[in-house]
Homo-oligomer: A and B are copies of this chain.
């Protein structure tokens, strides 16, 4: 992280979300086409993902802390078994689909639930490299997430690029709190879609990704996306299946791998940040 070096974490969200996503992420990890992923402990297929992580210690797997269940027909809910979760769920016991409901959740219930998610991952045999947040739900409870990151001594995804409704001023407060606890986070987090305009196909999406790579700023950047196979299961879950399949293909593409080499981009994982945060000698 010195001078103008560009370090890149190539990160897949949603490990455990469904079988098609598990198959994709396991393949990308095995091929080293991505350098990191985060596990959605709450999802129906999380055990498959967790078992893969537990039996492949080289996988860089964090926890995708989850407070929403956003698809119409395929659902999940809290894992906390020891406390009240009634402000976290809808009438069916699922997490709400949208962030507005999450914003109204009881803070103590949020804290207990995210701790339960990390503890469940540990019980499943996962040694998490970091934590991040599904759909950015942590933005409503950033202090809680930073305190939990400190408890487990884990780095945390944190973006200084303000999302809508979130001021730069409050982001500076968050950064100050994280710094005061010794929590590491990337210099940049990029979550742009690779399909930038409706109707773009694979080649345009790949070119958008290449442009992103060429435009990377110095420092540590996390580039996050949602790769998946495009099976009947995924198509039943989400209309975004085509984008997710492209996101599976793009970082396996020899042309993209060549760009990363040409641009002298150094690919790292979150484990490197965790090692620094924990003072682990190389």
Task: List residues of A whose CB falls within 8 A of some B CB.
Answer: 18-20, 22-23, 43-48, 51, 72-76, 79, 81, 85-86, 89, 91-93, 120, 123-124, 229, 231-233, 236-237
Contact = CB atoms under 8 A, between A and B. Distances in A.
Nearest to A45: B74
A73 B48 contact: yes
Identical subunits present: 2
SS class of chain A's interface: helix, strand, loop or mixed? loop
B232 A20 contact: yes
Contact of A73 (B51, B79, B123): B51
Contacts of A23: 232, 236
Contacts of A19: 73-74, 232-233, 236-237
Most buried by B among A51, A79, A233: A233
Contact of A232 (B45, B51, B120, B232): B232
Nearest to A237: B19
Contact of A48 (B81, B93, B120, B236): B236
Contacts of A48: 72-74, 236
